[in-house]
Structure 1
């Protein structure tokens, strides 16, 4: 799938301005973490799965354009009970469907918390007990919709997948796909 199409899906499903996703993607391309368009712009190459994961990670872990590369590399390498976080995210986006309630990305302390298949798992440092922190919360329905569109489903079909995901994970089917 082309970079611009992946960026559009991620921006729409995570509720981030397309221009912001374009800027994050440009930083990744400058650092060599996603491919740059070379030659004809009319026929750009498709992104590989690991590049799609990096683009999604850039949006999920966004804390400023100057931190994009560091954040993607750091959060990708976080370890948890299922292995590295980038491998788990790749499995959620490209592997068999899984039940994900939510995914929480924290910068202080840096880590990821998620409920997948009714099991709470953490990557990196655990969250602070009783303290406030900045975090980005991504619904399982949003992840399911991204995965569905990456597999070639239309936006409408992906909305249906998101609604089913909400029902399966115990959330009401009418909630927003972005948090």
Structure 2
């Protein structure tokens, strides 16, 4: 009888089913050990152990006086150079002036206000594809670093977003994005 049980056990363990059972037992053992080491699920948690409310390391009743906040860097403009919002407005005006001009004329108007990277990307673009006709808002400058800013402007069909970089103290548009409103 002992031989029969040993034979069946050996045969089952060597089969695919036996190997699968051994793997399941090992995985369950590892998961169980991990749960034991992790400790009990604390208050404020669901059954998965994830918190059901935000974890706060600061008293939420304390006010923030902003003393620890860092102000965004001011864009650095070379003395006598054009400010980024002025460059952005000029670029936007030229970008929107697409009616009745050839692609070459349109691109020539944008070239002095653009980086070489953007000029290359605009090569071959048909100005008829510009999705707006006129500016409807003032430029809003969002400084990222001293040499990189984003400028947004409302246009008749949405929001124009320009990325400007400072090259040798001169601000140039490096990317154009438009979002329908």
TM-score under structure 2 length normalisation: 0.22
**Larger of the two Rg values belongs to structure:** 2
What TM-score does the superposition give when structure 1 sets the normalisation length? 0.23
